[in-house]
Amino acid sequence: MLDFADVSVIDNHCHPIEPEKAVMDPEMLAREFFHGMGDIPDPGIKKAKLWGATQELRYHFLHMGVVHTMVCQLSKVLGCPAELEAVTSERNRRTAESFAAYARLLYDDAGIVGTVLDTGLHKDDPILELIPGKVMRLFQMEPLLRKLLEQSGSYQELLRGYQETLDRAVRDDGCIGVKSHLAEQVGFGVKPVSEAEAEAIFPAAKTGDSEAFKKLYVSIFTATLLQCQDLGVPVHLHSGFTGGLWNGSISNADPFLLVHLLRQPEFLQTRIVLLHGGYPWIQHAAAVAHALPHVWVDMGWMTPWISLRIVECYRDVIAMAPLSKLMIGSGGHGTPEIAWLAAKTAKIALAKALGDAVKLDLMASKQAEKAGRMILHDNAVRMYGLGK
């Protein structure tokens, strides 16, 4: 029987822990796992998932499958009944003493030794110290692009400022990759935009024309793909539907739509990481990683959000994608429970999916053990050069 409980984990996609969430009531702890819309719109809040919630919606927060999994697993670590109120009370007792120590308890329990962080925080921001282990940051594309669009007088000035900043972020500040929301901003089914066309539509983009901005975005994105070849870092793409909402069709986030762009010869040396496994287009993400030499799959958000079907999800991915191209992530944010639960559920899923392959004589036991370690840890070490 396979058991990955003691295997180290690198969380390939996470967000900062927020100090203000050290103490939470049971409902708010459950709501940390909710990615849908609130049903009391607030004009002052852009993100619909942060809107207020009626009593009816709040009732449903408590009954999400992932919340049941969190309560089940957390009760074992904290030594209390498997009830949301009980685990929240014990959690808060510990976080009141030290939020950092509580985070270390969970990360040690799950074996998380490194985290790839999607954040705009400075590398020396004390908030980052709440995350145990090695912290590696991604360079965020969108905030800089919008800032430079306001400041620049031409496309060439914007491009130069963007590339110089990205170069410093990687070479001087240690960023290990670039994060892009191409699916939400434009859609995956895009065609390259030339610099000449970007220069021509720059004035319209600067005045807020949405279609012009999309073309500008694509031009900067493809320039980023090429620059990342020189810098030796991957590009992380949000893919699939994770419950968040954006303008445009949700189907724009299907990984299959990327093939036309990514198969262009000039981009084949740029490593691409499809975040969230393209959920619910899991098989599409796996197929793209199989077909294109430079595409990897991160299984964050599936772990832990799809906890009650996590084994089947993992089977879909490992069925076609090279096992050397898969990494574990969480999409965690706010509280350490999300990253911790992602690592725990990933280990459960891998033990079952790979273990069944061994029972069916589809893999040898040593092959399955190695594959599990690769997915949980070693593939990320290789991707980011952590063994050097």
The per-residue pLDDT for 48 is 86
Contact 294, 263 (CB under 8 A): no
User: Could you give the CA distance from residue 26 to residue 377 in angstroms, rounded to a whole number?
Assistant: 32
* H-helix segments, 98-209: 99-110, 141-151, 155-171, 182-185, 195-206
User: C-alpha angle with apex 327: 219 to 181, nearest 5 degrees?
Assistant: 25
50: in domain = yes
Domain-terminating residue out of 100, 119, 146: 100
Please check whether residues 188 and 322 belong to one and the same domain.
yes
The per-residue pLDDT for 46 is 84
Percent of residues in the chain assigned helix, strand, coil, to nearest 5: 55, 10, 30
Q: Is the overall model pTM greater than 0.85, yes or no?
A: yes
14: in domain = no
Strand (E) or helix (H) holding 15: strand 9-17
Please check whether residues 224 and 320 belong to one and the same domain.
yes
Please check whether residues 119 and 228 belong to one and the same domain.
yes
Please check whether residues 72 and 133 belong to one and the same domain.
no
Please check whether residues 206 and 132 belong to one and the same domain.
yes
Domain-terminating residue out of 100, 119, 150: 100
Domain-terminating residue out of 100, 120, 152: 100
Please check whether residues 61 and 139 belong to one and the same domain.
no
The CB density around residue 42, as the number of other CB atoms within 10 Å, is 12
Q: Is 96 exposed, middle or buried (0-12, 13-18, 19+ CB in 10 A)?
A: exposed
The per-residue pLDDT for 247 is 66
Please check whether residues 294 and 353 belong to one and the same domain.
yes
Please check whether residues 119 and 42 belong to one and the same domain.
no
Phi, psi of 320 (to 5 degrees): -125, -40
34: in domain = yes
> Any idea how long the chain is?
388
4: in domain = no
User: Could you give the CA distance from residue 189 to residue 267 in angstroms, rounded to a whole number?
Assistant: 15
5: in domain = no
Domain CATH number, residue 206: 3.20.20.140
9: in domain = no
Residues 6+ apart with CB under 8 A from 276: 13, 238, 239, 240, 242, 298, 299, 300, 301, 302, 329, 331
Please check whether residues 120 and 86 belong to one and the same domain.
no
Please check whether residues 91 and 109 belong to one and the same domain.
no
10: in domain = no
Please check whether residues 145 and 46 belong to one and the same domain.
no
Residue 333's SS3 state is strand
Per-residue pLDDT for the chain (388 aa), expressed as one digit of tens each?
899 999 999 999 999 999 999 999 999 999 999 988 999 999 988 888 889 999 999 999 999 999 999 999 999 999 999 999 999 999 999 999 999 999 999 999 999 999 999 999 988 999 999 999 999 999 999 999 999 999 999 999 999 999 999 999 999 999 999 999 999 999 999 999 999 999 999 999 999 999 999 999 999 999 999 999 999 999 999 999 887 656 678 889 999 999 999 999 999 999 999 999 999 999 999 999 999 999 999 999 899 999 999 999 999 999 999 999 999 999 999 999 999 999 999 999 999 999 999 999 999 999 999 999 999 999 999 999 997 6
Count of domains for the chain: 2
Residue closest to 335 by CA, chosen among 13, 90, 20, 11: 20
Q: What is the extent of the structural domain holding 56?
A: 20-100
The per-residue pLDDT for 205 is 97
6: in domain = no
Residue closest to 36 by CA, chosen among 25, 51, 21, 23: 51
Please check whether residues 108 and 96 belong to one and the same domain.
no
